[in-house]
Chains A and B, each alone.
Chain A
């Protein structure tokens, strides 16, 4: 490379070095980190909702279980009183609801892949 070529390349390097760079806004890092890791202020909310949902499901399931047992022990059903099949369906619905609550209110997304 001769001297004029070298000078031309140097001037191109100098001009390329002057290409503007992006300067992030002052709050960019904090904003992005807050999105990546939800604020600890609300960390108790998800477990609380999950616990409340589970407690409700367990209570209703226990009550329905008791009713089911009672219905089974109380011989046949009458037209006005639900029989064992109805209570079984109701209990199944509650168990499904519990499963849904557990899946829906699972732990928040982790940073781990």
Chain B
């Protein structure tokens, strides 16, 4: 995969090479689907929406000029498809992880894992309560595949603004978690 550049893959897709199209989808489906999930929060919709995003990407592939990375370009389309879906549903942008979707916490003992999971659940709830403009940059920044530059392209805002939003979002999260902990201890 690495030997084949984005430009080469795009060229072959434009020549309607079905295998190349499958390789392109395979390489970017995980991150595109996760972007959609983090916007719409409905797992059952991801497959269809992700497919819609890739079909839109294929139709617009001729206009891909290589200024952004192919993955960034595809994630931008996925982001727009997810926002369109929210608009169709009459919803605003929301974000939270699904209950019970946590991954194993690591090598700690059972109690540590429970505590870690509980912390993550609290963090997810706090993240869900953040204002929209902080929520998505923060959720996207948590994806390893997306850097600040990619998020800036996706959201159509300057890189500096993304960094600021992510930093403030984390600070707000920390405050909310601290307030939640204090309330729990007082209660």
Give residues in A with beta carbon < 8 Å to B: 5, 8-9, 11-13, 15-25, 28-37, 39-40, 110-113
- Contact check, B60 vs A30: say whether CB atoms are below 8 A apart: no
- Contact check, A33 vs B18: say whether CB atoms are below 8 A apart: yes
- Contact check, B54 vs A15: say whether CB atoms are below 8 A apart: no
Chain A's nearest CB lies how many Å from the CB of B28? 10
Binds A, one of B30-38, B85-93, B147-155, B156-164: B30-38
Q: Which of B103-131 contact A (CB under 8 A)?
A: 103, 105, 119-120, 123-124, 127
Nearest A residue (CB) for B95: A19
Secondary structure at the A interface, as helix, strand, loop or mixed, is helix
- Contact check, B47 vs A28: say whether CB atoms are below 8 A apart: yes
Count of chain B residues with Cβ under 8 Å from any Cβ of A?
A: 54
Residues of A within 8 A of B29 (CB): 24, 28-29, 32
| Complex CA–CA separation, A113 to B62 (angstroms) | 5
Chain B's nearest CB lies how many Å from the CB of A40? 7
Interface centre among A5, A15, A40 (most CB of B within 10 A): A15
